[in-house]
Structure 1
């Protein structure tokens, strides 16, 4: 929580002085009562003492004053809201290693299913584009809010073949994200299962994305023991994908099975297209102060037949 006028919170320093003044007044009252009646007869003169009830209404009143001071300082909290006109580029690897079956029924099928689930989690007003890559990168769908069109484009293009051109895929994705405009919040979600074998180095592209304020969220798909039908080992390149995410200002994930991949995409779908927005909660503080004052007055009226 932050405050737009935090200097007004200095008013809270008055509360300890008020408490000290109240304690001093109570001490004088007790002395006056003792002077009025000897201890031996005080029980008959004042048969019932209010005890803690004497202080409760004033305590609620002090809390109300503290809440009012907080309201004057205009408190605000940050909440996650859908980013208006945001653009996400979904870059998906369909190299030959995506035919591995260590992620059932295959890495490619699991990637497509999770990608469609991801699109279902992204707010409807957010535009999503599609890039697929093997040894070359191809933009298959410009950013759109038409989820069915994007799903169809990905299904048509995602066939396991060739090598892995991660850097080229990021460059195409970055250009697509930039085309949405400088003031439009953008992000790239990259899913891959292997080390780049073709094209440009992906790390300088990640550095460029950082400068442009476009984070890259990477998902490393597969297990270290993953193999192709011919026995070739195809472990995911988690190190490079982690470096890409870190250098771009994004976040890296690893998915070793279908459920893990779905969980990652669910998280990304609810977070990548969201932004933090300050919301003022002055009314809540003021309302709380009013309730506390009403409570203090009600207790005082019930117990002592006076407001406070």
Structure 2
């Protein structure tokens, strides 16, 4: 089912908004008319007693029909200006591939509870933000792509693929990106504009092809790559050779990831904590699978004007036998 999220209101014919000037003009005319009635009113000594006997309404109630009539004028002016609501609607046929690094450096605990767990939680946030019709694929990698899933609307399979990763091995980012491209653009044919790749990595490429070269191919195929560099500069992991050996530094590589994003036409992000990572993925989930459209809502304002006019008439005729 297609859903739409309201974002803003604009007008196709804004000159009709000048009709709102009729409201202060009407107030001035009404004020002048009441001043004239007061000036020429005939004083009657028993007027107060007659008002009580007739059960006169509270003074504020006399102004309700007038207020409703003025509100109807405002609603009608907005309707004539043809209001349009800007909404975010799902992109039909959108396909996104999550490329997730689970090399040994993803076991670092500089991002709580550790990089890999934070990445998995952020991916859950990403999936929650996507419309159900958006197809999502996964390419998990370390020494090479070792966990792949073609784009699908089955969120359970996507989550299972993401959660099946263990932090081990080297970093073959270029190989993983190439698999993602082959998934979105079989036979090297240009993909639909709604296709994109989201790459999360925490370190430099240590094996396989150059990821920047793959990004150049992605640009030709019109597939932007959005990159997220995860981790902090002073992060380390225990030395796998010996517990007594010095720990191994595992800083992220935001420079290369930014270059990948720039070359492909995407955007680069960096994250040093789990909360920021979830925020980034939430933003990407909303941005990649939706587009902005203008939808006219004139009928709503016209209906409001009619209801307000009817209300003003119903409240004024029984009291004084005339419209406000």
Q: TM-score, normalised by structure 2?
A: 0.71
In structure 1, stretches of 5+ residues that fail to align are: none
- Counterpart position of 2:6: none
- Cα deviation for residue 9 of structure 1 reads 2.7
CA contact (8 A) 1:140 1:157 kept: no
Aligned residue for 2:22, secondary structure, equals helix
Which piece of structure 1 moves more, 87-96 or 233-242?
233-242
How many Å separate the matches in 1 of 2:268 and 2:312? 50
- CA RMSD in angstroms comes to 4.0
Of 187, 194, 211, the match for 2:203: 194
- Cα deviation for residue 185 of structure 1 reads 1.9
Distance change >3 Å, CA 16–CA 176, structure 1 → 2: farther
Aligned residue for 1:129, secondary structure, equals strand
Of 87, 91, 103, the match for 1:95: 103
Of 3, 13, 19, the match for 2:11: 3
Distance change >3 Å, CA 22–CA 178, structure 1 → 2: farther
- Cα deviation for residue 210 of structure 1 reads 11
How many Å separate the matches in 2 of 1:121 and 1:238? 25
Matched, 1:294 2:310: yes
- Counterpart position of 1:225: 234
How many Å separate the matches in 1 of 2:267 and 2:34? 60
- Cα deviation for residue 8 of structure 1 reads 3.0
- Counterpart position of 1:81: 89
In structure 2, stretches of 5+ residues that fail to align are: 1-8, 240-246
CA contact (8 A) 1:127 1:144 kept: yes
How many Å separate the matches in 2 of 1:196 and 1:56? 72
Aligned residue for 2:168, secondary structure, equals coil
Of 162, 168, 172, the match for 1:160: 168
How many Å separate the matches in 2 of 1:239 and 1:45? 90
- Cα deviation for residue 243 of structure 1 reads 6.3
Aligned residue for 2:249, secondary structure, equals coil
Distance change >3 Å, CA 28–CA 116, structure 1 → 2: closer
- Cα deviation for residue 191 of structure 1 reads 0.8
- How many pairs are equivalent? 298
Distance change >3 Å, CA 153–CA 56, structure 1 → 2: closer
